[in-house]
Structure 1
């Protein structure tokens, strides 16, 4: 089944490389079309695949470690705190590359603040962490609204960035995302059994030798790092981290060894397809922000799952 999922993802990526304002025929490529395919669309499709996998994987870990089916990068404050830095950088006219640096810096600062607020006597309270994340989201949204109101000249750029998109693609960013995703997935997959025990019962996990606090803290930090990097490069792309883990859990069960893999693969596929649709849905070469596509597709599919699998959506 995993091999089939990889094949489907590769086929989706191949089709996405050919899609755009000008559809490419792989059997008769001109030199210009070959350059477009290899230098523009190939890195963009790879970037979309990596960003989607990072968001899907982080959502799976959030929902497990916090034991909340609504936990994702928004409810934990990771996405909003990252967006805050990017919006302020855009409003102040910071050059494009440094927008990502500012987003990453504020995302990690938000992580530290939420993490410290959720600690009590050396232990992390998942409920307090969710509440701290929601408060962080509210504060960041308020500052972002102020920036949109006060810096009118930058309003269009801010709004477009907040909608999310696969832009500013480069091979060094691809390498950074690929390395971070690989290391995080390897770390989490090797601890899949401990994560399964953590999902069932903390006391039992502790009695079986699992350091619950250390495992939860490390998983949360790595997930937030994935979100901060993804948001700093692509803006806010909603619904991937929320919907994909639910779909993976509903279709393939609650075993974290499977859920981690399918959350990453399905998140990757969802964003690759959504990015391809965003390039062709508006005639004339205009591009729709991919965050709109993921919200529409993810929301509709989530309603379908609620209707057909409402009894097994969380427990598998």
Structure 2
């Protein structure tokens, strides 16, 4: 099953490189079409896959560590707080590496505040966590709005960036994301058994010698690092981390040894498909920011979860 899905994913990725305002026939390409395929389409598809995998994996980690099925980078305020740092760095004209660093710092600070506000007698309250995430989104959005108002010279780039999109793809950015994703996947795979125990019962995990606080903090930081780097490179792309872990658990179970792989694969698949649709949905060659597409899909999925599983969320 795993290799069949990987093969199907690779086939869809190759097909996505041929789809766009100008469809390319791989068996009859001109030199210009070949350049478009290798220099524009292929790097963009690869970048969308890696960013989608990072967001899908981070959502799976958040839902595990926070024990909230509605947790993802968007609902917990991680994306907006990371975006706050990135927007300030862009507005101040900082170098590219400073954008990612500041996004990580503000993202970790914002998510830590949400995490601490949601603790009730040592346990995470899912309702409080979502409300704290909403408050964090409001505060971050207010500061971002101030930055857009005050730094008028950077307004256009900030607004376009906040919509979320796979733009300004470079080999350096792609390499950074790949290295980070592989490193986090390796760490989570080695600790998958501990994560399975942690997801069931904290007391059992402690009795088995697992340092619950250190493990949770480490994977918490790893997820925020994934989100902050993804946000700093692609803007705010919401709800990928909400949709993907639910689909992964429904189809392949909750074993983290498999869940981390399938969450990454399905996240890559979702964002790649959304970006492909965004390239062709508007006639005439105009592109729709991919963050709009994922927001439509994620909003509908969010309503579905609230309608059909709300009692399990709040009382389960």
Please give the TM-score of this superposition, normalised by the length of structure 1.
0.88
Q: Distance in 2 between matches of 1:187 and 1:6?
A: 21
Distance of aligned partners of 1:17 and 1:313 in 2 relative to their CA distance in 1, 3 Å threshold: farther
Residue 85 of structure 1 corresponds to which residue in structure 2?
85
Q: Distance in 1 between matches of 2:113 and 2:83?
A: 20
- The more displaced of 288-297 and 56-65 is 288-297
Q: Distance in 1 between matches of 2:247 and 2:56?
A: 10
The count of corresponding residues between Structure 1 and Structure 2 is: 311
SS of structure 1 residue aligned to 2:74: coil
Unaligned runs of 5+ in 1: none
Q: Distance in 2 between matches of 1:142 and 1:192?
A: 39
Q: Distance in 2 between matches of 1:23 and 1:113?
A: 43
Do the aligned residues in 2 keep the contact of 1:83 with 1:231 (CA within 8 Å)? yes
SS of structure 2 residue aligned to 1:12: helix
Is 1:143 the equivalent of 2:143?
yes
Q: Distance in 2 between matches of 1:249 and 1:313?
A: 15
Q: How does 1:181-196 map to 2 (within 5 A)?
A: 181-196=181-196
- The more displaced of 143-152 and 207-216 is 143-152
Q: Distance in 1 between matches of 2:313 and 2:35?
A: 44
Q: Distance in 2 between matches of 1:88 and 1:16?
A: 34
Once the two structures are superposed, residues 262-302 of structure 1 have per-residue CA deviations (whole angstroms, 9 ceiling, x without a partner) of: 11000000011111111111111111000111122333455
Is 1:101 the equivalent of 2:98?
yes
Q: Distance in 2 between matches of 1:78 and 1:116?
A: 10
Residue 166 of structure 1 corresponds to which residue in structure 2?
166
Residue 260 of structure 2 corresponds to which residue in structure 1?
260
Residue 11 of structure 1 corresponds to which residue in structure 2?
11
Is 1:40 the equivalent of 2:21?
no
Provide the aligned C-alpha RMSD in A: 3.0
Do the aligned residues in 1 keep the contact of 2:89 with 2:98 (CA within 8 Å)? no
Is 1:50 the equivalent of 2:47?
no
Residue 214 of structure 1 corresponds to which residue in structure 2?
214
Once the two structures are superposed, residues 125-155 of structure 1 have per-residue CA deviations (whole angstroms, 9 ceiling, x without a partner) of: 6459947655443321110122233445543
SS of structure 2 residue aligned to 1:205: helix
Please give the TM-score of this superposition, normalised by the length of structure 2.
0.88
Query: Following TM superposition, by how much is the alpha carbon of 1:90 offset from its aligned partner in structure 2, in angstroms?
Result: 3.8
Query: Following TM superposition, by how much is the alpha carbon of 1:91 offset from its aligned partner in structure 2, in angstroms?
Result: 3.6
Do the aligned residues in 1 keep the contact of 2:83 with 2:235 (CA within 8 Å)? yes
Do the aligned residues in 1 keep the contact of 2:107 with 2:224 (CA within 8 Å)? no
Distance of aligned partners of 1:208 and 1:8 in 2 relative to their CA distance in 1, 3 Å threshold: same
Residue 235 of structure 2 corresponds to which residue in structure 1?
235
